[in-house]
Copies of this chain bind each other. A is one copy, B any other.
Amino acid sequence: MDHQYIKDPMAIERKSFEMISAELGEKNGTGLKMDMIKRVIHTTADFELTGLLQFKEGVEDRLLQAFKGGATIISDTNMIKAGISKKMAHQLGVEINCFVDSEEAHQEAQEKGITRSMAAIDIAARLPGKKVFVIGNAPTALYRILELIEQNSLSPEAVIGVPVGFVGAAESKEALWTADIPSVITKGRKGGSTIGVALVNAVLKEAVKDIGK
């Protein structure tokens, strides 16, 4: 059997975004926030997320400036770390860290009697420089970020808080949204690593364009 299919990844992506724009109809628009929404749809094929994504006023510019300034990304899952474009991050001098499987996180979690996801946030908080957190899985990681901010031990540029799940996920995102922190969330249960990655990669793309690389 002869399978006929488009083999040009750029053509596939272009056509996909045209279809997404068309299906968004009157909700379609331009600008970085819209790019972020469309990339999430592209990565999930789930238009319900259009209504679930919430952006704090100006957070997209805050993320853009952070990445143009070479901020460090900290994720709660290795999937997010794997999915963020290494090429674009490298062009911007952006490092991507995930400490959840590190020996240090194991040890610190045991010593403090907390989850490894929480210990991984504590480790990240001690890094120097500007930080953007991307949480796709662990509500406990998101709560830990909020606790450290309240204790003045952490001051992130922005937090992408999109944990998915049935226990604690929605509540943790609601707590982030209530706090005075530049953030992006997905309301309710939906979220996940691919959504976090899509939001980051959309901003990285704009940042790379801005610096003319």
Q: Which residues of A are in contact with B by a Cβ distance under 8 Å?
A: 1, 3, 5-9, 12, 15-16, 19-20, 42-46, 77-79, 81-83, 114-115, 117-118, 139-140, 143, 146-147, 150, 164-169, 171-172, 175, 188-194, 197
A42 and B165 contact, Cβ closer than 8 Å, known pairs A5-B139, A140-B5, A172-B5: yes
Cα distance A45–B15 in the bound complex, in angstroms:
28
A45 touches B6 (CB 8 A): no
Q: How far is the CA of A105 from the CA of B183 in the complex (A)?
A: 38
Known pairs A79-B83, A165-B16, A167-B16; A44 contacts B190 (CB<8 A)? yes
Closest CB in chain B relative to A38 CB, distance in Å: 11
Nearest B residue to A168 by beta-carbon distance? B5
